[in-house]
Amino acid sequence: MRLLLDSHAVYWFLRGDARLSARARKAVADSHNDAFVSAATGYELALKARRGRLDLRIVKEMGAMLRAARLTVLPISLAHALDAGDLPEPHRDPFDRVLMAQARAGRLTVVTVDPVFADYGVPTLW
């Protein structure tokens, strides 16, 4: 399975937070699966940490933590950006829209608790 972690999923995974479902944790940790984290997620988490909403240490050490967990950073291509901009409304969260575009292009399943991804035909796992 090819997975793309939503921001809360990667943050909870790296923290060992119990809010990440057992099913999601198992899928991300399974070495038979390819797990990705969008570059957009790094930006989103950095913004939240700067505002004091997340543990700054996790964000500052995110690169090393992702490598240790065998999570691959997925760059944002021009095609991703254009598809994200072309997605229909009403969902306006730019980070979710980028993840939707990346998931669609890469045939990825998004690890998320957020039901909005399914509304856009993106498979999810939780």
How does pLDDT run across 8-36, given as a tens digit for each residue? 999 999 999 999 999 999 999 999 999 99
Domain contains 114: yes
pLDDT digits (tens, 9 = 90+) for 94-123: 999 999 999 999 999 999 999 999 999 999
Tokens of 25: 């944790």
Range of the domain at 93: 2-120
pLDDT digits (tens, 9 = 90+) for 46-90: 999 999 999 888 889 999 999 999 999 999 999 999 999 999 887
pTM score, two decimals?
Answer: 0.94
Distances from the Cα of 69 to the Cαs of 8, 64, 66, 83, 99, in angstroms?
Answer: 16, 9, 5, 29, 20
How many structural domains does the chain have?
Answer: 1
Domain contains 126: no
CA torsion 21→45→79→103, rounded to 10°?
0
Contact 54, 62 (CB under 8 A): no
CATH of the domain at 36: 3.40.50.1010
Domain contains 111: yes
Rounded Cα gap, residues 108 and 69, in angstroms: 18
